[in-house]
């Protein structure tokens, strides 16, 4: 992957506005589903490490929440702080942008990335959907002016297009040094955390436009008994109306959420899973700093 035979290792932040394809990119690089994805902005709420070791190169990817302008609630402030912190201590930054759409939130990320001292790679996502690549040129030229030292790579996170080039550029820019993690480890997150995230993903995908953002998932039990993994998950909402939406008519929706989450969990944990879901109303959790900390929203 690189000229040197010495081990290389370092942290790589994947940044960008909400819903630009950061988690999809991480999953494709790792070759398995780790970060949850949906079409809703703000699906990712925590920094999560995805670790890829190939030969002498270990790249530790940090999937960050999208930076966004809404700073009203404690949850939004937490997500912005988390994303900004990731830029401080990394060896390489991948700034993911859309092929032909630029928003105020992209601008917000650009303003943070311009201060980054180390190498920046500009990943132009969804380029497979462009009929005429020439349409990209003015946008590219403008981006190069903003980030003159950045390396530009057109990619498709969804299709996995050109990710080998992206990974090669990352590997060449990582510092030489011993690996931080065992070669078979793929994340720093616990199995309980990953289980909670999978349930949250299914809720986000099921509810679409009806989705209240004030939803979080807490794992109350995670226990392997023989060949079966027993998982009890509590879905917290802020209002009774939200509880009704998640349960659905005759419990149909929560049943579907459970079935889909269980399928993914069985693949991820390589075990038969018994999953029980409950919904509970806990008013105001998303704007209560103490409640956020108790639910695992800690500054890392």
Check residues 168 and 128 and name the one with the higher pLDDT. 168
Q: How far is CA 192 from the centre of its chain?
A: 16
| pTM recorded for the entire structure | 0.71
Binding residue positions: 16-23, 63-67, 125-128
Please, are residues 8 and 56 in contact by the beta-carbon 8 Å criterion? yes
Q: Residue 140: its pLDDT value, please?
A: 86
Long-range contacts of the stretch 144-149 (C-beta < 8 A, 24+): 146/110, 146/114, 147/95, 147/110, 147/113, 147/114, 147/120, 147/122, 149/119, 149/120
Indicate if the pLDDT at residue 108 is higher than 50: yes
Check residues 1 and 31 and name the one with the higher pLDDT. 31
Q: What is the pLDDT of residues 41-98, one digit of tens each?
A: 444 455 678 999 999 999 999 877 655 455 555 555 655 555 556 577 889 999 999 9
User: What percent of the chain clears pLDDT 90, i.e. is strictly above it?
Assistant: 39
Q: Which CATH class is domain 6-170?
A: alpha beta
Q: How far is CA 248 from the centre of its chain?
A: 28
Per-residue pLDDT averaged across 174-188, rounded? 92
Q: Which CATH class is domain 189-293?
A: alpha beta
Binding residue positions for GTP: 16-23, 63-67, 125-128
So where are the chain's domains?
A: 6-170, 189-293
Q: Residue 300: its pLDDT value, please?
A: 42
Q: Residue 234: its pLDDT value, please?
A: 92
Per-residue pLDDT averaged across 210-233, rounded? 85
- The pair of structure tokens assigned to 143 is 């981006």
Q: Residue 211: its pLDDT value, please?
A: 58
**Confidence band, pLDDT 50/70/90 cuts, at residue 268:** confident
């Amino acid at each position: 992957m690189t000229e040197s035979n010495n081990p290389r290792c370092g942290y790589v932040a994947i940044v960008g506005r909400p819903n630009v394809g950061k988690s999809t990119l991480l999953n494709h690089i790792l070759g398995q589903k780790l970060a949850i994805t949906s079409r809703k902005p703000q699906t990712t709420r925590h920094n999560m490490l995805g670790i890829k070791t190939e030969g002498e190169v270990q790249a530790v990817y940090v999937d960050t929440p999208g930076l966004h302008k809404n700073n009203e609630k404690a949850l939004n402030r937490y997500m912005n702080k988390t994303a900004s912190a990731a830029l401080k201590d990394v060896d390489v930054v991948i700034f993911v942008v859309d092929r032909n759409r630029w928003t105020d939130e992209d601008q917000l990320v650009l303003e943070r990335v311009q201060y980054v001292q180390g190498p920046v790679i500009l990943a132009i996502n969804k380029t497979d959907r462009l009929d005429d690549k020439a349409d990209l040129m003015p946008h590219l030229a403008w981006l190069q002016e903003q980030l003159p030292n950045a390396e530009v790579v057109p990619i498709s996170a969804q299709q996995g297009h050109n990710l080998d080039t992206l990974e090669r550029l990352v590997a060449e820019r990582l510092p030489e040094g011993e690996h931080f993690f065992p070669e078979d480890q793929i994340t720093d997150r616990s199995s309980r955390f990953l289980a909670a995230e999978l349930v949250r993903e299914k809720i986000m995908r099921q509810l679409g436009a009806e989705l209240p953002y004030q939803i979080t998932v807490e794992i109350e039990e995670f226990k392997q008994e023989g060949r079966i993994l027993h998982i009890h998950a509590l879905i917290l909402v802020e209002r009774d109306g939200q509880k009704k939406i998640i349960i659905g008519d005759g419990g149909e929706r929560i049943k579907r959420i459970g079935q889909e989450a269980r399928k993914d969990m069985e693949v991820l944990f390589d075990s038969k899973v018994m999953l029980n879901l409950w919904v509970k109303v806990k008013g105001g959790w998303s704007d209560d700093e103490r409640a956020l900390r108790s639910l695992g929203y800690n500054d890392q």
